[in-house]
Amino acid sequence: MPPPADIVKVAIEWPGAYPKLMEIDQKKPLSAIIKEVCDGWSLANHEYFALQHADSSNFYITEKNRNEIKNGTILRLTTSPAQNAQQLHERIQSSSMDAKLEALKDLASLSRDVTFAQEFINLDGISLLTQMVESGTERYQKLQKIMKPCFGDMLSFTLTAFVELMDHGIVSWDTFSVAFIKKIASFVNKSAMDISILQRSLAILESMVLNSHDLYQKVAQEITIGQLIPHLQGTDQEIQTYTIAVINALFLKAPDERRQVGVESSVDILDCPLTEMANILAQKQLRSIILTHVIRAQRAINNEMAHQLYVLQVLTFNLLEDRMMTKMDPQDQAQRDIIFELRRIAFDAESEPNNSSGSMEKRKSMYTRDYKKLGFINHVNPAMDFTQTPPGMLALDNMLYFAKHHQDAYIRIVLENSSREDKHECPFGRSSIELTKMLCEILKVGELPSETCNDFHPMFFTHDRSFEEFFCICIQLLNKTWKEMRATSEDFNKVMQVVKEQVMRALTTKPSSLDQFKCKLQNLSYTEILKIRQSERMNQEDFQSRPILELKEKIQPEILELIKQQRLNRLVEGTCFRKLNSRRRQDKFWYCRLSPNHKVLHYGDLEESPQGEVPHDSLQDKLPVADIKAVVTGKDCPHMKEKGALKQNKEVLELAFSILYDSNCQLNFIAPDKHEYCIWTDGLNALLGKDMMSELTRNDLDTLLSMEIKLRLLDLENIQIPDAPPPIPKEPSNYDFVYDCN
């Protein structure tokens, strides 16, 4: 007979004694269980004791998390969180440097546990740590000259404990003094600083900026991009990652009017760190340093660095949002002058008619003719073409950049099209506007960066005006594709679809430079796109005759069962998921996998991302499949309904799913990518006896059905298919027939 569900069998350790095997009744109060354990070892004052996990986490058992205890769990009897916090609070104020160092080391480790953290914070522990950082630093540095060099370790443990305590979200970031911010900033600004201290200082500054507007302003006064750049020029990728994270945080929280300084370096506003940051972003220095010391360094870029580069790429392109959403004012003479400049460069009108009434009519007629050649929709007043947002004034900016910086190509395209028949000309103005809009959609200009995406493009870090250069390459591609398609004005949308496909396919190869991107596009001519489409169409050929449809219907259940088994096998292998929090730099992972008999989900926290599968016995927690009530996705997930930035992020929403079990319990997931999301949602639905509805299942079903039907339609009449593969033939008697090309 199975044991009651409320009884859990565990082992409990106590230093210097043999472990005890116990049955814990989950209905009993936790204090009664602790008293029973203490009585077994004749320990008085049971209220001073607590239970904690004996694994590397060392987390305390509380009434809130006691349901996570599973059969076979190893627990440890230890000092209660309140007692431990009180003792450490006293020990870190010890006059003995060795005792203080050991206490801070213990504090850094224990602060990861929210139960201990709450008790330590209740003792005003955060204030004590900040005071130690503010006032104790100079004294420790003086002592280090006459004592063993423990200052670096001491400060490192202090900052680590501070970071871990603040990560729990119990204390507001707004409570910290300017002196503390200055001290943390000083650790970052020093040229020679211990790596661990520098890491934690950068992490603290990033969290301050992201979590408090007031602290953002104070941090921006203490830290400039120029002071952060030396850390990018080092060889430690983790320090580089933290540094770019701080830059991204400053950039993300900068007021819009200050962020826009990066668009035009000639704009003059009050001198402040954000002005310097935006100006540097618009110049070579930061971009070229990242390109040289990070992207082109002789080492692989890890996922976290790739994410930070992606965020920087998104934030840089988001500088274009203001121009993208700004309509042109037809009455604004400065804006109209840009259109006049486009006409002047293209047609180089050396002489202007006299300003008489007759010549005014001639001038209007000439301008209208030239604007038609330039490909504007509104020939009389081209300014009206730029009143749609997006792309707004950004399209006009791109056209002017192309005309000034690639003048020969610009003149060639305009004159080439103006000499064609009206129906065959590729309208430069209309094409530029639609192309700018399309490129903004591809690069998601104006959208917040995803919390999980690592999709940065190295080529955008190779030029100060990368978006404009990107446009210049693509507008020439559009003109080339137009000619290859022999398109007319009715084919405009078709041409744009082909150009989008060419650009997207070239981007997926992750070219390292704009020149390489241009070469990729050269190989993706319209003819090549047709071949690719034809090949894909043949691979996904859909036979519509009745016999074929009947055959499909007959074999589809077999294919679906095959897909189901594949999904379940992948769940048995398991997947490593990332825990996302407000400070993403400290990677925390957890692993989940299905038992081979498909009856239990095993899951548990990991210290680092695993290399290969994680054994079942190393995963502490279990969830019986029979207890699963439902699987929900996207906005329906409990962790997507919580307050925070994640719920507003479209990409994270598309990767989120949750398992609901018991009354109010859930297991929340954010998949590493769309493929894993489909695998897990399909597998979980299969376990619950529901249909697999993901896009991946549809694609797999189409592919496997097509292959199976083609195999069954092969003409195999009178052909004996052997049960075993044919034998390998004997080696030839000589190799005289071999010809050595060398």
Per residue in 172-215, pLDDT (tens digit) is 998 888 899 999 999 998 877 788 999 999 999 999 999 888 88
- The reported pLDDT for the residue numbered 385 is 92
Kindly state the average pLDDT of the residues 275-298: 75
- Under the banding of pLDDT at 50, 70 and 90, the label for residue 5 is low
Which pLDDT does position 138 carry in this prediction? Answer: 54
The first and second tokens of residue 169, run together, are 């979200």
| Across 119-123, 440-444, 530-534, least confident range | 530-534
How many residues are given for the chain?
Answer: 742
Tokens, residue 416: 């080439």
Band of the pLDDT at 612, cuts 50, 70, 90?
A: confident
Neighbours of 507 (CB within 10 A): 17
Span 411-426, pLDDT tens digits:
999 998 888 776 788 9
Closest CA to 424 of 483, 349, 473: 483
pLDDT value of position 274 = 42
Looking at residue 273, its pLDDT comes to 43
- 414: alpha, beta or left? (left if phi > 0; alpha if psi -120 to 50): alpha
Q: How confident is the model at residue 741 (pLDDT cuts 50, 70, 90)?
A: low
pLDDT at 11: 93
Residue in 384, 475, 370, 481 with CA at minimum distance from that of residue 415: 370
Query: For residues 376 and 382, is the Cβ–Cβ distance under 8 A?
Result: yes
User: Closest Cα to residue 585, out of 203, 159, 192?
Assistant: 203
What is the pLDDT, as a whole number, of residue 326? 94
Would you state the pLDDT for residue 271?
Answer: 39
Q: What percent of the chain has pLDDT over 70?
A: 87
Confidence band, pLDDT 50/70/90 cuts, at residue 137: low
More confident residue, 68 or 306: 306
Return the percentage of the chain with pLDDT > 90, whole number. Answer: 52
Range picked from 425-434, 599-608, 722-731 for highest mean pLDDT:
425-434
- What pLDDT score was predicted for residue 539? 59
* Span 500-527, average pLDDT: 95
Above 90 in pLDDT, residue 256? Answer: no
Lowest mean pLDDT among 225-234, 255-264, 389-398, 669-678: 255-264
Q: What is the pLDDT of residue 541?
A: 54
Question: CA–CA distance from 630 to each of 599, 659, 685, 688 (Å)?
Answer: 15, 6, 9, 8
Higher-confidence residue of 496 and 641: namely: 496
- Taken in order 38, 42, 45, 48, the sign of the CA dihedral is negative
Number of Cβ within 10 Å of residue 148's Cβ equals 11
8 A C-beta contact, residue 362 and residue 370: no
Q: Which residue has the higher pLDDT, 586 or 214?
A: 214
Q: Which residue matches tokens 């522990």?
A: 125
pLDDT of residue 566 exceeding 70, the answer is yes
| pLDDT given for residue 711 in this prediction | 80
- In the predicted structure, residue 308 carries a pLDDT above the cut 90: yes
∠ at Cα 208 (202, 210), nearest 5°? 100
pLDDT value at residue 258: 45
pLDDT at 192: 74
Inter-residue contact 157 to 146 (CB < 8 Å): no
Q: What's residue 246's pLDDT?
A: 93
- Looking at residue 224, what is its pLDDT? 80
DSSP element (H, E) containing 495: helix 492-508
Record the pTM: 0.75
CA 335 – CA 480 distance, rounded (Å):
29
Output b/e per residue, 68-93; b: 16+ Cβ within 10 A: ebbeebebbbbebbbbbbbebbebbe
Mean pLDDT, residues 500-526 taken together: 95
Q: What is the Cα 155 distance to its own chain's centre? A: 31
Do 29 and 9 touch, CB atoms closer than 8 A? no
Cα distance from N-terminal residue to C-terminal residue, the chain: 78
Q: Which two tokens stand for residue 20?
A: 């005890």
Residue with tokens 């420790």: 140
Q: d(Cα 162, Cα 108) in Å, to the nearest integer?
A: 8
Q: Is 49 helix (H, G, I), strand (E, B) or coil?
A: strand
Residue 384 is given by DSSP the state G
**Cα 521–Cα 525–Cα 530 angle in degrees, nearest 5:** 130
Q: Crossing angle of helices 407-418/393-405, nearest 10°? A: 110
DSSP strand pairing (74-79 vs 7-13): parallel
